[in-house]
């Protein structure tokens, strides 16, 4: 060990925000209409839009839990909206467990890995290949959105106008088509192996 080496004093822990400030941040997020809308959309898309009251109750419960835990919020790590969203997902997770509902895990969760690993595995060159190879095998309504988006370079509002459906609905169709392309590729691979 060199004699010149000095022992630097240990770094002081980063100053934590006073609890009052955290409460203010969370309160503001809870009062934000767009946050409420997004939470409700998550809940309603899970329980069905006809069960609006049940969805509202679940959102209310998530907000109450978030408010109780507001002092533990880490503003440097996550936005308040996504932090509150985590409480809502946990409620659904608990409901699934309490109903002993078999939770189907996709191929992606067997990794037991952090988000960065998942990010690494999202291979866009593979996605590009799938779109080109399996496009013709898609049902007509899915083929239409994939053609417009990936081959004709149409934007969301143009596609919505041409199909006579909402912008959001267009996107949902695209994601379903992507999942179908993935299933076709997996089936093809399995067929090739057998």
Partner 1 sequence: MKITDRELWIDETVSLYLEAFENDDFDTQDRIWELAERDAELAETMHSLHRGLIEEQKALDERTIARSVSMAMPSARIERESNGPITVADVAEELFHTAGKSLAGDGYAWIEKLRLSSAPLPDDLRLSKLSAWAEAQFGPAPAGFWKVFHYGAIKLEQRRASEKEYSLAARRAPNPEGNE
User: Nearest-CA neighbor of 66 among 21, 34, 26, 17?
Assistant: 26
d(CA 87, CA 59): 9
The sign of the torsion formed by the CA atoms of 48, 51, 53, 57 equals negative
* Least separation in angstroms between CB 177 and partner 1: 8
25 binds partner 1 (CB under 8 A): no
Residue 71 vs 86, nearer CB to partner 1: 86
CB-CB contact of 163 with 155 (8 Å)? no
Residues constituting the chain: 194
Write each residue from 48 to 77 as x if it is in contact with partner 1 (CB under 8 A), else as -, in one continuous string.
xxx--------------------------x
* Least separation in angstroms between CB 161 and partner 1: 7
CB-CB contact of 47 with 54 (8 Å)? yes
122 binds partner 1 (CB under 8 A): yes
| Residues in Cβ contact with 159 at an 8 Å cutoff, skipping those fewer than 6 apart | 145, 148, 149, 167, 170
* Least separation in angstroms between CB 1 and partner 1: 40
Query: Of residues 105, 190, 193, 194, which one binds partner 1 by CB under 8 A?
Result: 105
Name the residues that contact partner 1, by CB under 8 A: 38, 41-42, 44-46, 48-50, 77-79, 82, 85-86, 89, 92-93, 96, 101, 103-106, 108-109, 113-115, 118-119, 122-124, 127-128, 131-132, 140-141, 144, 149-151, 153, 161-172, 174-176, 178-179, 182
């Amino acid at each position: 060990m060199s004699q010149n080496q000095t022992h630097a004093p240990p770094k002081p822990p980063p100053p934590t925000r006073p609890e009052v400030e955290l409460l203010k941040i969370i309160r503001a997020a809870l009062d934000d209409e767009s946050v409420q809308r997004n939470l409700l959309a998550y809940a309603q898309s899970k329980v069905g839009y006809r069960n609006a009251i049940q969805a509202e109750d679940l959102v209310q419960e998530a907000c109450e839990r978030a408010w109780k835990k507001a002092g533990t919020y880490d503003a440097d790590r996550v936005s308040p909206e996504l932090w509150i969203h985590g409480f809502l997902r946990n409620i659904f997770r608990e409901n699934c467990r309490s109903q002993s509902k078999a939770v189907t895990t996709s191929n992606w969760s067997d990794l037991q890995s952090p988000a960065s690993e998942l990010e690494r595995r999202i291979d866009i060159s593979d996605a590009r290949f799938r779109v080109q190879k399996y496009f013709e095998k898609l049902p007509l309504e899915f083929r239409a959105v994939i053609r417009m988006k990936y081959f004709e370079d149409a934007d969301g509002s143009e596609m919505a106008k041409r199909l006579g459906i909402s912008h959001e609905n267009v996107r949902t169709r695209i994601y379903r088509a992507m999942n179908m392309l993935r299933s076709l590729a997996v089936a093809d691979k399995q067929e090739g192996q057998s």
